[in-house]
Amino acid sequence: MSQSEEEDHFDLMIIDWRLTGLLSGIEVIQQIRNTTNLAHLPIILTTAATFTDTEALQHLNVTLLEKPFAVDEMLNLVKQLTQTD
């Protein structure tokens, strides 16, 4: 792998549902899922809001982590999602 490929490599993304700006976290995830080299990237979606559309989460293949969360909870989830078999 070249240096530029290594720099462009992601093991995981953590995205908040309510981003400031033009796009929501869900819209960003939809764009990521439509990007060939990122389609299977593990994504943690964080939110302080009540998120009930679990079907959308399953469709987007994301893991929901509701705020407030303990740091250990986040670390364990990151380890779980980035483990290689």
The closest alpha carbon to 62, from 82, 42, 46, 84, belongs to 42
Asked if residue 48 is part of any domain, the answer here is yes
Q: What is the pTM of this model?
A: 0.82
Asked if residue 1 is part of any domain, the answer here is no
Task: Give the pLDDT of the chain (85 residues) as one tens digit per residue.
Answer: 444 455 568 899 999 988 888 898 999 999 999 988 888 999 999 998 887 777 878 888 999 999 999 999 999 999 999 997 6
The CA–CA distances, whole Å, from 1 to 7, 12, 41, 49 equal 10, 19, 18, 40
Model pLDDT, residue 1: 41
Asked if residue 32 is part of any domain, the answer here is yes
- H/E run at residue 63: strand 63-66
Asked if residue 38 is part of any domain, the answer here is yes
Asked if residue 3 is part of any domain, the answer here is no
Provide the domain count of the chain. Answer: 1
Domain range for 63 is 8-82
3 state SS of 61: coil
The CATH number assigned to the domain holding 41 equals 3.40.50.2300
Model pLDDT, residue 41: 93
Asked if residue 2 is part of any domain, the answer here is no
The closest alpha carbon to 38, from 5, 13, 3, belongs to 13
Asked if residue 75 is part of any domain, the answer here is yes
